[in-house]
Amino acid sequence: MTEAPPHFRVAVIGSGFAGLGMAVRLKQAGLDDFVVLERADDVGGTWRDNDYPGAACDVPSHLYSFSFAPNPHWSRTFSPQSEIWEYMKRVAGEYGVDRHVRYGSDVRSARWEPDGNRWRITTDGGTVTAQFLVSGAGPLADPSYPDIKGLDSFEGKLFHSAEWDHGHDLAGRRVAVIGTGASAIQFVPRIQPEVGALTLFQRTAPWVMFRHDRDITRVESWLYRTFPVTQQIARKSIYWGRETYILGFAKNPRLLTVVERLGRANIARSVKDPVLRAKLTPDFRAGCKRILMSNDYYPALARPNVDVVTDGITEIRPHAVVTRDASGRETEHEVDTVILGTGFHVTDPPIAQRILDAEGRSLAEHWGSDVRAFRGTTVAGFPNAFVLAGPNTGLGHTSQVFMIEAQIRYTMEALKYLCKHGLDRLDARPEAERAYNDMVDESMEGTVWVSGGCDSWYLNEEGRNTTLWPTFTWDFALRTRWFDPHNYDLRVDRARTRGARRPAVAARGPAVGGTRRRGGRRADERVR
């Protein structure tokens, strides 16, 4: 007889900020019956994998960390990749969640089995089952390779920035960099002094602002260690300062004129050549795409060994990148190394192809190009599943960790509610999911992200912003503060109630729009 696979109450996919945060909160709630499925051999997610030269966070260190685990040891106001990764490993160890991690367990499929009321999860490291599934794979987990003719024919060295080849010596090389996103503006200044020639292929010029980065002084570090409240004050001040960006991004985009003036001043400070300056000046509103931060990107592009090419790439040949200008004239740029700074599968995460409903239909098929979820966390038709860093939870102005923690709190509230009321299954109601996303779309109207004049990765094929949260983050935190059972189909735990009187709680709450009382509070049933 085949031995049944190990069963857990909760299975968490990934050990980045989302997965680790979820695991810590489960431990703190006294629930040890969980497993973290990690495809690599260490925790850390994107901060483990993205170790390219110059990799760092563009959100201040004090805010880009867990609220429950402040780090008084940051060396700089904007943390380098190595420090963030070390911080994550330290959190995993200090909170005892590292022993729940199964390494080398890349999830190949996770299918809902309604009869067993469980998820069957097949990984490279074996099969497990779990009553609840939490995806912490994140939007920056899988690098995106561009669809360029002849990409596979290149005979030199080609790699993505998220899979940096540290064994490849760039000294004296003729290097092509494709892409000008957040990764490229960090590694280009680091490799520019080393390479023989660098050709940057730019499709769209980003807005790049001066980054006020500095060393954290010994006095500051001492204060943070000795009086933790001082670091809490620093964190809160950074948080509220960042929230003011929404006034321009979402409330009155005309306020962004000041930001654009600062951006142009940043170009003028470092680039004297008027032709290059024109190439580097964006033609869309600041914030339409993510605003980047760097003090050395523009100076690097102004160096003699760098050429910025804005003509479109038509193909890649064995030893060259080929472009075509507006008149149709082709140019062959000979290179021996190609580095792709082309981002990640954000709107089409591969993990969605591996999460299957009871009929075997994947979450990716369910979504198509229109990625939606209820409160960015649960998806109708996929019971007992939670998606962290899900649809419309991304940010263009502040720390993603804040949103992840809000989703984790919501997930924990849901689990506690089910346990308290003798329930074993939840499934978001389609009408609640529709109403919630209608609210998101209405809030998105008029924001710079949909009316700023650019074609960003925030938008799907139909032009809908499926990625970002449209307003203040504290608003999202309030919406996810408590679990809202009326927006779910709920099932009584039959094993627990067999032979006993059925619990008073209804298996299906009232329709969206009604009201009920919960814990002494009057909860507005409308999706707001």
The answer to whether residue 67 sits within a structural domain is: yes
Q: CA 395, CA 410: separation in Å to the nearest integer?
A: 18
Enumerate residues 6+ apart whose C-beta is below 8 A from 224.
70, 72, 230, 231, 234
State the average pLDDT over residues 43-60: 96
The answer to whether residue 334 sits within a structural domain is: yes
Question: Over 70: is that where the pLDDT of 515 sits?
Answer: no
Question: Over 50: is that where the pLDDT of 398 sits?
Answer: yes
Same domain flag for 180 and 103 = no
Same domain flag for 112 and 27 = yes
The answer to whether residue 211 sits within a structural domain is: no
* Placement of tokens 């809030």 in the chain: 443
Same domain flag for 251 and 169 = yes
Same domain flag for 324 and 363 = no
Among the candidates 340, 375, 398, a domain finishes at: 340
Q: CA 353, CA 362: separation in Å to the nearest integer?
A: 5
CA angle 410, 483, 442 (to 5 degrees): 80
Same domain flag for 273 and 368 = no
**For position 497, what pLDDT does the model report?**
53
Strands 337-340 and 355-356: unpaired
The H or E element that residue 497 is part of is helix 494-497
pLDDT tens-place string over residues 117-170? 999 999 999 999 999 999 999 888 899 999 999 999 999 999 999 999 999 999
The answer to whether residue 427 sits within a structural domain is: yes
State the average pLDDT over residues 3-27: 97
**For position 495, what pLDDT does the model report?**
63
Q: What is the pTM of this model?
A: 0.92
State the average pLDDT over residues 31-60: 97
| Contact between residue 198 and residue 173 where contact means Cβ atoms under 8 Å apart | no
Same domain flag for 168 and 198 = yes
pLDDT band of residue 346 (cuts 50, 70, 90) is confident
Q: Considering its fold, how many domains does the chain have in total?
A: 2
Full domain range(s) for residue 379: 7-142+345-435+466-524
Q: Which two tokens stand for residue 518?
A: 């919960």
Q: CA 127, CA 119: separation in Å to the nearest integer?
A: 10
**For position 2, what pLDDT does the model report?**
72
The answer to whether residue 1 sits within a structural domain is: no
**For position 511, what pLDDT does the model report?**
35
**For position 507, what pLDDT does the model report?**
37
Question: Over 50: is that where the pLDDT of 510 sits?
Answer: no
Length of the chain in residues, anyone? Answer: 528
The answer to whether residue 26 sits within a structural domain is: yes
Same domain flag for 46 and 172 = no
Instruction: Quote the mean pLDDT of the chain.
Output: 92
**For position 479, what pLDDT does the model report?**
97
State the average pLDDT over residues 390-418: 97
Lowest mean pLDDT among 317-326, 367-376, 517-526: 517-526
pLDDT tens-place string over residues 231-287? 999 999 999 999 999 999 999 988 999 999 999 999 999 999 999 999 999 999 999
Same domain flag for 182 and 319 = yes
Among the candidates 340, 368, 398, a domain finishes at: 340
Across the chain, which distance is largest between two alpha carbons, in Å? 82
The H or E element that residue 72 is part of is none
Same domain flag for 319 and 362 = no
Among the candidates 322, 340, 358, a domain finishes at: 340
Question: Over 50: is that where the pLDDT of 506 sits?
Answer: no
The answer to whether residue 453 sits within a structural domain is: no
pLDDT tens-place string over residues 471-488? 999 999 999 999 999 999
The answer to whether residue 170 sits within a structural domain is: yes
Q: Which two tokens stand for residue 425?
A: 């299954």
Same domain flag for 108 and 164 = no
**For position 498, what pLDDT does the model report?**
54
pLDDT tens-place string over residues 93-103? 999 999 999 99
**What CATH number should be reported for the domain holding residue 279?**
3.50.50.60
Same domain flag for 18 and 48 = yes
User: pLDDT higher for 499 or 437?
Assistant: 437
In a 3-state reduction of DSSP, which class is residue 315? strand
Closest CA to 354 of 316, 382, 328, 377: 382
**For position 25, what pLDDT does the model report?**
98
Q: CA 12, CA 321: separation in Å to the nearest integer?
A: 42
Question: Over 50: is that where the pLDDT of 304 sits?
Answer: yes
pLDDT tens-place string over residues 174-183? 999 999 999 9
Lowest mean pLDDT among 65-69, 112-116, 241-245, 511-515: 511-515
Same domain flag for 305 and 268 = yes
